[in-house]
Amino acid sequence: MSREDILRRAGAHIVDGVVRGFGDLAAELEAAHVGALLIDLSHRDRLAVAGPDAPGFLNRILSLDVLTLPVGAGGRPFLLDARGRIVGAFRLLRTGPDAYLFEASRGHGAAIIERLDHYHFGERIAVEPVSEAWALLTIQGPAAPRVLASLDLPAPDAPYGHASASLGGAPGRVARVDRGTGPGFDLWCAPEGFVPLWRGLIEAGARAGGVDALEIARIEAGRPDHPAELGDHATPLEVGAADGCSEGKGCYPGQEVIERTLAIGRPARALIAVTAPDPLVAGAPVRVDDAVAGTLTSAAALPDGRHVGLALVKRAFAQASTLVSQGVTLTQRPRTQETPP
């Protein structure tokens, strides 16, 4: 039985290779909030970067100090342009002294490879897509550690910490990646291990879910993602992604802008979380009285009829209690993660 076979037999609604859900969005969200939600993310892009010059090469162009990351650690670095804007966003796991795994949004892997090639001047490195070599699952929610423990699988504590494990009878890796309100874990498994791993996690108490529920959980938690927030319209510090920038790190593209902003302590804009009684439209302008305050970057409808979103606004309006977008009143709500993993 293939990966798609078991998902479809379980009731998955699959669109263009992406598992959107299993027919009960409210139950999936409840699992993300109080249980364990299991989602196939194999549509996302995976890359491997390796070679004796890989650590130094990556450290020269990324916003995060990857040289000091030990094997078994990771982070969310950025590739920036000269303005400090985000041109590449991904999660990185250091799997060996000279080896790294990248995970990025669907279709973004090619842009990352192109950007890496732009800075490649003969260093001894190899960059290759490995999406076919690995399936990717994520399990999110407060019960996720218990589910993993019942299968004798590791549940790393540190953000992006990861460990090798037998997943479905094949070598794999478990990484701490909080994609909703947390905690959460990504499971990199060999394709032949997907079906037994999926079955084992479901039998251990996880609930099957899709990206629609995960997107709502992400927005509820206030976590920026690519490309909605983490794109070339913003800097990492504006969208609350300071964890992807190492202060005082040596020269890299966009470093001057990042260091200057860190020194001032006041990015020009801020990411805020909002709620509304009516539908919201990502990309729509946000206003305070007659002034344009910013833009809605993400929006989602909850099963109970409420609507939530994220907005990137000018700092002068970051504390406004009420904003408006296309005639809909927005009320600010707390972001549960100010610097989300």
pLDDT of residue 339: 40
Mode of pairing for the β-strands spanning 74-75 and 91-96: antiparallel
pLDDT of residue 338: 43
pLDDT of residue 337: 52
Count of beta carbons in the 10 Å neighbourhood of residue 259: 15
**pLDDT tens digits for 183-225?**
999 999 999 999 999 999 999 999 999 999 999 999 999 999 9
Query: What is the C-alpha radius of gyration for the chain, rounded to an integer number of angstroms?
Result: 20
291 Cβ contact list (under 8 Å, min separation 6): 317
State the DSSP string of 243-299.
GGS-TT----TTHHHHHHHHHHT--SEEEEEEEESS---TT-EEEETTEEEEEEEEE
Structure tokens belonging to residue 290: 């007659």
pLDDT of residue 322: 84
- Exposed e or buried b for every residue in 161-186, given b needs 16+ CB within 10 A? bbeebebbeeebbbbbbbbbbbbbbb
pLDDT of residue 178: 98
pLDDT of residue 340: 38
**pLDDT tens digits for 228-237?**
999 999 999 9
Count of beta carbons in the 10 Å neighbourhood of residue 319: 10
For residues 101 and 279, is the Cβ–Cβ distance under 8 A?
A: no
| Complete edge-to-edge strand list for the sheet that includes strand 162-167 | 162-167, 170-176, 184-189, 135-140, 37-40, 207-209
CA angle 221, 222, 228 (to 5 degrees): 130
Instruction: Give the integer Cα–Cα distance in Å for 338 and 341.
Output: 10
State the DSSP string of 138-157.
EEESTTHHHHHHHTT-----
Beta strands in 24-182 (DSSP E): 37-40, 45-50, 74-75, 78-80, 86-89, 91-96, 99-104, 126-129, 135-140, 162-167, 170-176
Instruction: Give the integer Cα–Cα distance in Å for 302 and 279.
Output: 10
Closest-CA residue to 90 (of 124, 55, 64, 118): 64
233 Cβ contact list (under 8 Å, min separation 6): 85, 312
- Tell me the backbone φ, ψ of residue 147, rounded to 5 degrees: -60, -45
Count of beta carbons in the 10 Å neighbourhood of residue 292: 12
Q: Is the peptide bond before 183 cis (omega within 30 degrees of 0)?
A: yes
Give the residues of the chain that fall short of pLDDT 50. 338-341
211 Cβ contact list (under 8 Å, min separation 6): 18, 19, 20, 21, 39, 41
Q: Is 195 helix (H, G, I), strand (E, B) or coil?
A: helix
Task: Calculate what percentage of the chain has a pLDDT beyond 70.
Answer: 98
Structure tokens belonging to residue 121: 């001047």
pLDDT of residue 336: 63
